[in-house]
Structure 1
Amino acid sequence: MKTAFIARTALLSLLLSGYALADDDCREPVSDWQPRETLRQHVEQQYGWNVQRIKVDDGCYKIKGADRKGNAIEARYAPASLRLRTLHVNFGDDGDARDYLARPTSE
């Protein structure tokens, strides 16, 4: 009885951990994807990023490049909606995270 409980618990934890990892993938139909160049233009104009590479990773667009202050960035976007999914910034010695925090709106 105890062995069966341990086996079920182990199986359940494996299933749940696999589900959690799979949730990071983008699942939009390829027919709805926007061109990579559209994403490149958006982030260069909107954020001033210098895009070095855009590739497909787990169904998402993955950007590698640098922000306007030279900090290395890696971002993942949903390819159809171009919605930001994850952003990693490796700040240099004079890096400042305030550039990436939401600014309060004035009333």
Structure 2
Amino acid sequence: MKPVIVLSLAVVAAVGSLPAIAGPKCTDAPRSQWLPEATMQARILKAGYTIDKFKVSGQCYEIYGQDKAGNRVEIYFDPTDGRIVKQRDDD
């Protein structure tokens, strides 16, 4: 019986951590209120970033690329206003 309890606790812990794995919550706004992807990409490029990969991640726009200094970055943007919600630098 003990292995079943331990396994159950492990499953509960794993499921409870899913939001942290999935990324930040950027907005609750419907997609009809999001900036078009092309507009968002243009803003990101204008800010000096290079985009290697652009994607929709949950309720966010997310990029993998480089900043002005050439450092690798992973950035989550609010798709309604373009603000940075979370950023990770991969120096």
TM-score for the superposition, normalised by structure 1: 0.59
The runs of 5 or more residues in structure 1 that have no matched partner are 1-13, 92-107
Equivalenced residue count is 75
| C-alpha separation in 1, matches of 2:59 and 2:34 | 10
What is the Cα deviation at residue 77 of structure 1?
Answer: 0.5
| C-alpha separation in 2, matches of 1:67 and 1:83 | 15
| C-alpha separation in 2, matches of 1:30 and 1:83 | 16
What is the Cα deviation at residue 23 of structure 1?
Answer: 9.0
Is the radius of gyration larger for structure 1 or structure 2?
1
| C-alpha separation in 2, matches of 1:23 and 1:73 | 15
Moved over 3 A (4+): 20-23
Deviates more, 1:73-82 or 1:36-45: 36-45
State percent identity of aligned pairs: 27
Matches within 5 A, 1:24-35: 24-26=24-26, 27-35=28-36
What is the Cα deviation at residue 35 of structure 1?
Answer: 1.1
The runs of 5 or more residues in structure 2 that have no matched partner are 1-12
TM-score for the superposition, normalised by structure 2: 0.68
| C-alpha separation in 1, matches of 2:44 and 2:23 | 24
